[in-house]
Amino acid sequence: MTRQLAGDREGPSGQLSIFGQGLHPEEAVTAVRLAVEMSDRAELRRELIAKLPQRSAKTRERLAEKLLQRLVTFSGHSVALSPFLRLVATTPDPRAELELIFYRTVQTDRLVASIATDILYPHLVAGGPPAGYSESQFRLANTGSLFEADAAVTRAFISRYARERWGFTREPTLTRALLMLRQVGLIHEVRRRESGRSLAAYARTGLSMALPAFVFCLAETAESVRGRSLRLDQVQHALFAELFLLEPLQVRGLLELGIEAGLLRRAGARCGPAADSLDAVVSQLLRRRRRG
């Protein structure tokens, strides 16, 4: 996933592309682990439907199809064993597993990505208003000073922004998108009462990324640029860093951890994966975890 996707959020209808399902992390892991064992798409789909826990057969069929669309790449009728599948299927790190599933999910569900990068990151990390708003306009639209101490974005503002900027009005879908961001631990809900009213808002948890997920995301981003290395500011403002609401200091810390572990390398003012391909990056990550 690279920064170019930030300007490529609209589908053929001109609306934000929506995946239409929640995160379903446990079911997603099941799909990934089956995908690395099976090569035929039809067989994989049948087996996944049989293993999903939902009681309704139609629900299992619909969810299985969506998970395969979201997570698995196919070459004709065969599974293409991608570095992503290998890492998620075999990593012993549950946090990295969840983050990688989320990372792939938001490549399909651009509404979740847009909420993170266009609304939450500008205020909760960068400390400014979302695009299209001045500081004073945002403060007023975000219910004045009610949440200033919490550095939070109200649900009312998120709905307003989605409506005004994207023409998006489906409140249940916004609720599901915010739930995904909460499931991965990026935001939490805060509530305040003022003048007899209760307002919901979302604040950043401050949780950093698991190192394997960070290295994979950085390596995939670096693969899209010539020379396979990035400047520090490119990493700090890479789409994945904004998706995970990472502060610049968190990015620096993760880079240092990756360099110390031999997973990343620095050359002057630039950095990138120590391995020469995404497949090799995954092999390196898995060897490191087995040794640990």
Highest CATH level, class, for 110-204: mainly alpha
Of 43-47, 152-156, 252-256, the one with minimum mean pLDDT is 152-156
Domain residue ranges of the chain, discontinuous segments joined by +: 21-92, 110-204, 211-291
pLDDT digit string (tens) for 135-176? 989 988 887 655 555 689 999 999 999 999 999 999 999 999
Same fold, 110-204 and 211-291: yes
Q: So what's the pLDDT on residue 143? A: 75
Does an H or E element contain 254, and which?
helix 248-260
- The secondary structure of 100-168 as a DSSP string is HHHHHHHHH-HHHHHIIIIIIIIIIIS-SPPTT--HHHHHHHTTTTTTGGGTEEEHHHHHHHHHHHH--
Say what the pTM is.
Answer: 0.90
**pLDDT-based confidence at residue 228 (cuts at 50, 70, 90):** confident
pLDDT digit string (tens) for 82-132? 999 999 999 999 999 999 999 999 988 889 999 999 999 999 999 999 999
Q: So what's the pLDDT on residue 151? A: 86
Is it the case that residue 61 has pLDDT exceeding 70? yes
Q: So what's the pLDDT on residue 15? A: 55
Dist CA 80 CA 75 (whole Å): 6
Both structure tokens of 225: 């640029």
Q: So what's the pLDDT on residue 246? A: 98
Is it the case that residue 203 has pLDDT exceeding 50? yes
Number of H helices, E strands in the chain: 14, 8
Compute the Cα dihedral for 215, 247, 155, 135 and give only its sign. Answer: negative
Nearest Cα to Cα of residue 207 among 102, 130, 62: 102
In CATH terms, the fold of domain 211-291 is Arc Repressor Mutant, subunit A (1.10.10)
Q: So what's the pLDDT on residue 150? A: 61
Both structure tokens of 165: 């900027």
Dist CA 273 CA 228 (whole Å): 8
Could you give the C-alpha distances from 283 to 52, 108, 280, in angstroms and in order? 29, 26, 5
**pLDDT-based confidence at residue 22 (cuts at 50, 70, 90):** confident
Is it the case that residue 225 has pLDDT exceeding 90? no
Quick check: 43 and 77 in contact, CB under 8 A?
no
**What share of the chain has pLDDT > 90, as a percent?**
76
Nearest Cα to Cα of residue 234 among 270, 275, 274, 276: 270
